[in-house]
Structure 1
């Protein structure tokens, strides 16, 4: 700071030359991930299948609307839809075994 610069300004005053501070980190995604994991734990393959189908429908609609690249690590929306479809198929298969295990006389 050069001599005379900033002199006479009261403390706790907004300085245009500094700009706005960066907003604090909000770990909302971690809360969302925990909630989704809890639902998957409690409801098992039903929750996984439901989230996968919701994701497939959402990405299919977005792709029809012109979204070709997603913020998802897979990038291409076709790859995201294929991934979600694979998860949905696995969840559907797991759901069959989950229901069979609950039936009387299944030995589970």
Structure 2
């Protein structure tokens, strides 16, 4: 194995260590922040997701691994989430 892949990758390949479910940690942290901060967190995460997908779409991404698949649908989805967060926060 090359040195650039690191020890953790090599152990996972050999079966000594299961893959790290980092996505679950990220989702749990996002849920905690949303619970603590409220609608502003929803608006912020939605805006962050929109900015990331917008940048990816401009770079040529047309199919996402998100369950909506089409990047334009994902952009609409996260824009609605961000808008709902702003409306809820202003309410």
Task: State which of 68, 71, 78 in structure 2 corresponds to 1:77.
Answer: 71
1:1-108 map, 5 Å = 21-22=14-15, 24-97=18-91
Number of aligned pairs? 78
Q: Alpha carbon RMSD of aligned pairs, Å? A: 1.3
TM-score (norm 2): 0.79
Please report the TM-score for the alignment, with normalisation by the length of structure 1. 0.67
Structure 2 unpaired stretches of 5+: 1-12
SS for the counterpart of 2:14 is coil
Distance in 2, matches of 1:21 and 1:70, equals 30
The structure richer in helix per residue is 2
Structure 1 residues not aligned, in runs of 5+: 1-19, 98-108
Which fold has the larger relative contact order, with Cα–Cα distance below 8 Å and residues 6 or more apart in sequence? 2
- Partners of 1:81 and 1:58 in 2: CA distance: 9
Structure showing greater radius of gyration is 1
Q: Offset of 1:26 from its aligned partner?
A: 1.5
